[in-house]
Structure 1
Amino acid sequence: MNDLTERDLWNPQFRFSDVLEDFDEWLRWRDAASRAAERSLSFERFAYGAHGRQWIETTECGTVQSRVVPVFIHGGYWRSLSAEDHRCVLTGLSSLGNRCANAEYRLMPEFRLDDLVSDAVAAFGRLAELYSGDTRFLLVGHSAGAHLAVSIARKAGLTDRLAGVAAISGVYDLAPVARSFLQDEIGLSDEEIRSHSLIGASIDTPLLCIVGGDETDEFKRQSLAMSESAGAGHLIVRGANHLSILADLNSQKSPLIDALGVWLNSSSHPAEVDTISS
Structure 2
Amino acid sequence: MDAGMREGQLQLANGRRVALLESGRTGQPLMLALHGWLDNGASFLPLAACLEGIHLICVDLPGHGLSDHKSSPYVFTDWLDDLHQIMAAGGWSDVTLLGHSLGALIASAYAGVFPEQVARLILLEGLGPLSQPDEEVPAQLRRAILNRSRTRERASSGFASLDEAVAARCKVADISPEAARLICERQLILRDGRLHWRSDARLRDLSPLRMSEGQARALMAAIRCPVLFVQGEQGFASLTAQWLARRDCFTQIHRESVAGNHHFHMDNPLQTAIVIEKFCHIR
In structure 2, what is the Cα distance between the partners aligned to 1:40 and 1:116?
A: 28
> 1:165 matched to which residue of 2?
121
Q: In the alignment, is residue 255 of structure 1 matched against residue 216 of structure 2? A: no
The answer to whether the Cα contact below 8 Å between 1:144 and 1:171 also exists between their aligned partners in 2 is no
Note closer, same or farther for the CA distance 1:51–1:189 as it changes in structure 2 (3 Å cut): farther
The answer to whether the Cα contact below 8 Å between 1:209 and 1:224 also exists between their aligned partners in 2 is no
Note closer, same or farther for the CA distance 1:47–1:248 as it changes in structure 2 (3 Å cut): farther
In structure 2, what is the Cα distance between the partners aligned to 1:193 and 1:176?
A: 5
Aligned match for 1:120, one of 46, 62, 83: 83
> 1:213 matched to which residue of 2?
233
The answer to whether the Cα contact below 8 Å between 2:231 and 2:256 also exists between their aligned partners in 1 is yes
Q: In the alignment, is residue 75 of structure 1 matched against residue 64 of structure 2? A: no
Q: What does the per-residue CA deviation read over 1:154-176, in whole Å, with 9 as the maximum and x for residues that have no partner?
A: 223633xx330101100525235
In structure 2, what is the Cα distance between the partners aligned to 1:196 and 1:85?
A: 30
Percent identity (aligned): 13
> 2:73 matched to which residue of 1?
110
Number of matched pairs: 209
Aligned match for 1:151, one of 109, 114, 118: 109
Note closer, same or farther for the CA distance 1:225–1:208 as it changes in structure 2 (3 Å cut): farther
Q: What does the per-residue CA deviation read over 1:62-99, in whole Å, with 9 as the maximum and x for residues that have no partner?
A: 48x963111100111xxx33334544433234x141x2
Structure 2 runs not aligned, ≥5 long:
64-69, 148-204
In structure 1, what is the Cα distance between the partners aligned to 2:58 and 2:214?
A: 26
The answer to whether the Cα contact below 8 Å between 1:212 and 1:241 also exists between their aligned partners in 2 is yes
Q: In the alignment, is residue 45 of structure 1 matched against residue 9 of structure 2? A: yes
Q: What does the per-residue CA deviation read over 1:158-203, in whole Å, with 9 as the maximum and x for residues that have no partner?
A: 33xx3301011005252359789x965323325x446863475321
The answer to whether the Cα contact below 8 Å between 1:167 and 1:209 also exists between their aligned partners in 2 is yes
Q: What does the per-residue CA deviation read over 1:195-251, in whole Å, with 9 as the maximum and x for residues that have no partner?
A: 8634753211111111112223212222454433203333332422102333334xx
Which is higher, the Rg of structure 1 or of structure 2? 2
Structure with the bigger RCO (C-alpha within 8 Å, sep 6+) is 2
1:100 Cα deviation (Å)?
A: 1.4
TM-score (norm 1): 0.62
Match of 2:268, SS state, is: helix
In structure 2, what is the Cα distance between the partners aligned to 1:121 and 1:237?
A: 30
> 2:266 matched to which residue of 1?
246
The answer to whether the Cα contact below 8 Å between 1:68 and 1:163 also exists between their aligned partners in 2 is no
Structure 1 runs not aligned, ≥5 long:
1-35, 267-278
Note closer, same or farther for the CA distance 1:41–1:238 as it changes in structure 2 (3 Å cut): closer
